[in-house]
Amino acid sequence: MVAGAEAYGTHKNAALAVKGERIAWIGFADEGAREGAALGIPVHDARGLWLTPGLIDCHTHLVYGGHRVEEFEKRLCGASYEDIARAGGGIQSTVQSTREATHQDLRVSAAIRAQRLMSEGVTTIEVKSGYGLELAAERRLLEVARDLGAELPVSIRKTFLGLHALPREFTADRQGFVNQVCGPWLESLVAENLVDAVDAFCENIAFTVTETEQLLRAAKQLGLPAHVHVGQLTDMGGAELAAKWGALSADHLEFVSVAGARALAAAGTVAVLLPTAYFTLQQTTPPPVALLREAGVTLAVATDSNPGTSPCTSLLLALSMACTLFGLTPEEALSGATRNAARALGASQDIGTLEVGKRADFALWRIERPAELCYGLGANPCAGVVYGGKIRAA
């Protein structure tokens, strides 16, 4: 046993055999040769490197046009995220640059961001739309997300974030916009096989509980799972709502009540913590991790990669900040980007742990103990990745 490994239930000298895209056997290297011969398949010996499941970034907004550097500068001079949003900047400015971007711009910039995540052992990325906010523009974002998964050796989960912000053309007709998103837009995108899940930004600068509930109801009727952005800036009862509708995840949660935390636990809704967004917005109230733990809520960690609140393409940095800013243990942080991130995507049967029958997505690390994955700032100890049983350039 390697120092620091006990808590992880891990062991040294692991070996793993792959058949097709799946794990066929996992055990000690010294048994590997015998088992491999018996199964008639090759065995990969980790040769003293650490082996983890491929990392999962279960919350990103990876596809968008432009950037928000000016907004960053304004915030450094004292403007708040809410002030900027209310003045028509924020998400609205990315909607404008995304609508203006060519398909090629969107593809290339998203691929660069995806490759940065992949270089750190990420094998699955959830990608949200939400910067189009008109049907054709939302479709384009979801198509780019789908194509990323076809062009790069990474699994993509596509989320329709229809209720992200109210687009300018609907300023005078909020309900009309919500009706479009929850009705014809959702139905068309689902019919085109572009939607794995839905999402909404339930917040005082975005959508109310009632509006969010309309989307959750529509999704349920179509048999689609849901994620919800809740409690990023205020507690509007979004956690309770996510739990009521059996959402896969409730994301952010800086502001959540005791009742909200208990509801999430009872519903099995995963709390996705986004420490790089908290850091970027220089927030001062972290999610009540002790409360969430005590209530028995499953915790995941993701980058929230987006141009406004989290211009971040490092999941390892998010894990580090989950420890230093939110007080997670390195073990909790790491399971938040593997086992629990898989739960947040409703994909536990397929990914997130190294078990026979699951996808052979795993990362090899040049580290001495697992907490090192949360320790380095800007370090990348990834020494190799196997994706669907095939060696991938990290």
Confirm or reject binding of residue 203 to Fe ion (CB under 5 A).
Answer: no
Of 113, 139, 229, 392, which lies in the binding site for ligand NIG, with binding defined by CB under 6 A?
Answer: 229
Q: How many CB atoms lie within 10 A of CB 76?
A: 9
Site for ligand NIG in 44-73 (CB under 6 A): 61
Nearest distance, CB of residue 166 and Fe ion, angstroms? 17
CB of 95 to ligand NIG, least distance (A): 9
- Residue 149 corresponds to which tokens in the numbers above? 């998964």
Q: Does 249 bind ligand NIG (CB under 6 A)?
A: no
> Kind and range of the H or E element at 258?
helix 258-267
Using CB under 6 A as the binding criterion, the count of chain residues that bind ligand NIG stands at: 13
Instruction: For residues 269 and 367, give the distance between their C-alpha atoms in angstroms, rounded to a whole number.
Output: 32
Residue 196 within binding range of Fe ion, rule CB under 5 A:
no
| C-alpha closest to that of 159 among 63, 256, 95 | 63
Asked if 377 contacts 317 with a C-beta cutoff of 8 angstroms, the reply is: yes
Look at residue 90 and give the partner it binds from ligand NIG, Fe ion, none, a contact being a CB closer than 5 to 8 Å depending on partner kind.
Answer: ligand NIG
Single residue of 32, 53, 90, 311 touching ligand NIG by CB under 6 A? 90
120 contacts ligand NIG (rule: CB under 6 A): no
Which CB sits closer to Fe ion, 52 or 276?
A: 276
Q: What is the amino acid identity at position 207?
A: F
Least Å distance, CB 306 to ligand NIG, is 5
Q: Rounded to 5 degrees, what angle do the CA atoms 198, 202, 205 make?
A: 130
What distance in Å separates the CA atoms of residue 68 and residue 58, rounded to the nearest whole number? 23
DSSP secondary structure string for all residues of 167-185: -GGGTT-HHHHHHHIIIII
Q: Is 309 in the site for ligand NIG (CB under 6 A)?
A: yes
Q: Which H or E run includes 24? A: strand 22-28
The yes or no reply on residue 304 touching Fe ion (CB under 5 A) is yes
d(C-alpha 257, C-alpha 210), whole Å? 19
Between 17 and 242, CB nearer to Fe ion: 242
Dist. CA 272–CA 277, nearest whole Å: 12
# of chain residues touching Fe ion (CB under 5 A): 1
Q: Which of the choices ligand NIG, Fe ion, none does residue 316 contact, using the CB cut-off of 5 to 8 A by kind? A: none
Which one, 85 or 363, has the nearer CB to ligand NIG? 85
- Residue-wise over 328-361: b if at least 16 C-beta within 10 A, else e? bebbbbbbbbbbbbbbbbbbeebbbebeeebbbb
Q: Please, what is the minimum distance in Å from the beta carbon of residue 311 to ligand NIG?
A: 10
* Beta strand residue intervals within 166-246, DSSP E: 197-202, 227-230
Q: Which span sits near ligand NIG by CB under 6 A: 25-33, 220-228, 305-313, 340-348?
A: 305-313
Name the β-bridge partners of 226: 198
Q: From residue 331, how far is each of 5, 8, 322, 374 by CA, in Å?
A: 10, 7, 11, 9
Instruction: Provide the sign of the torsion angle of the four alpha carbons 99, 105, 109, 114, taken in this order.
Output: positive
Residue 257-286 contact track with ligand NIG, rule CB under 6 A, x = bound: --------------------x---------
Residue 335, contacted partner among ligand NIG, Fe ion, none, CB below 5-8 A by kind = none
Q: Which of ligand NIG, Fe ion, none does residue 370 bind (CB under 5 to 8 Å by kind)? A: none
Query: Considering the rule CB under 6 A, would residue 205 count as an interface residue with ligand NIG?
Result: no
Nearest to Fe ion of 52, 314 (CB atom)? 314
Identity of the residue, 132 or 307, whose beta carbon is nearer to ligand NIG in the bound complex: 307
Which option in Fe ion, ligand NIG, none does residue 340 bind, with CB closer than 5 to 8 A by kind? none
Which residues of this protein are in contact with Fe ion, per CB under 5 A? 304
Binding interface with ligand NIG (CB under 6 A):
61, 90-91, 94, 201, 229, 232, 277, 304, 306-309
